[in-house]
């Protein structure tokens, strides 16, 4: 009888914490690579890695749907403005932005892609062109757009192309997606200031905000609701507790 070779599943990297010892707008970025964001139970492991690590060049992308390429024309609440930011896995980024005074609501989703109404599984193939983003509603009389950008820069490494720690794929790219000329100007000036402080080139894209597709409900406020382990993390305004990326 021929010998059978059993292959064990690869071991996930150990969990790590993203520490914060500064004020809430400038949380300290851990020197430890950000942990791999686990896929939900319904998603296959092979679908997560995409067999090409999400490279657009490694797969044939679908034809662009005009609906997906249109501007985000949703309307914020009266007296509020939108901001749309992509900085790797959207769970931790959302929690950091929830804590900013003046932010009235957050939601995670997919933007800047090619297909209409993508699912998480679609996006994780790396062929749809979407980025994982957080869309914020904020009160500009309390919170400046630049304050949100400070949180954005502090939450990820903007010099790694299509990658944040163990998360690899175009959906994890760094991006600022603006809703006005004023936001675009602020974003470019902010990038220039941060580039002066780094010895590596920032690869963050700055583009008009395309249509926003709200992610599945289990992704919304994921860490605040308890994450993988059921221990909810604080969304209190001004909180600078370390963010546990898995929950």
Mean pLDDT of 129-152: 98
Delimit the domains of the chain by residue range: 89-247
Reported as a single tens digit per residue, the pLDDT across 5-63 is 444 444 444 433 333 333 444 444 433 333 334 444 334 333 333 333 333 333 445 57
| Residue 14, pLDDT score | 42
| Residue 61, pLDDT score | 54
| Residue 137, pLDDT score | 99
Query: Could you tell me which CATH class the domain 89-247 is placed in?
Result: alpha beta
Reported as a single tens digit per residue, the pLDDT across 90-140 is 999 999 999 999 999 999 999 999 999 999 999 999 999 999 999 999 999
Contact residues for 7 (Cβ-Cβ < 8 A; gap 6+)? none
| Residue 48, pLDDT score | 36
Contact 124, 53 (CB under 8 A): no
- CA-CA distance, 132 to 187, in Å (whole number)? 18
Reported as a single tens digit per residue, the pLDDT across 74-100 is 999 999 999 999 999 999 999 999 999
| Catalytic residue status for 89 | yes
pTM of the entire predicted model: 0.76
């Amino acid at each position: 009888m021929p010998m059978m070779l059993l292959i064990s599943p690869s071991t996930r990297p150990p969990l790590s914490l993203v520490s914060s010892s500064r004020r809430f707008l400038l949380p300290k970025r851990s020197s430890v690579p950000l942990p791999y964001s686990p896929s939900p139970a319904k998603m296959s492991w092979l679908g997560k890695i995409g067999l090409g690590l999400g490279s657009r060049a490694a797969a044939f992308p679908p034809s662009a749907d005009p609906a997906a390429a249109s501007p985000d024309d949703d309307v914020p609440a009266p007296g509020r403005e939108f901001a749309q930011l992509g900085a790797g896995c959207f769970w931790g980024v959302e929690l950091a932005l929830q804590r900013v005074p003046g932010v009235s609501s957050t939601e995670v989703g997919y933007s800047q892609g090619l297909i209409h109404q993508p699912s998480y599984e679609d996006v994780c193939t790396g062929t749809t062109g979407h980025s994982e983003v957080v869309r914020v509603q904020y009160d500009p009389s309390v919170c400046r757009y630049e304050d949100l950008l400070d949180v954005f820069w502090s939450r990820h490494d903007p010099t790694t192309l299509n990658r944040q720690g163990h998360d690899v794929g175009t959906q994890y790219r760094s991006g600022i997606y603006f809703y006005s000329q004023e936001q675009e100007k602020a974003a470019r000036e902010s990038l220039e200031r941060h580039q002066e402080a780094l010895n590596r080139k920032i690869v963050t894209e700055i583009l008009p905000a395309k249509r926003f597709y709200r992610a599945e409900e289990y992704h919304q406020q994921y860490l605040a609701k308890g994450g993988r382990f059921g221990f909810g993390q604080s969304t209190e305004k001004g909180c600078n507790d370390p963010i546990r990326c898995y929950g």
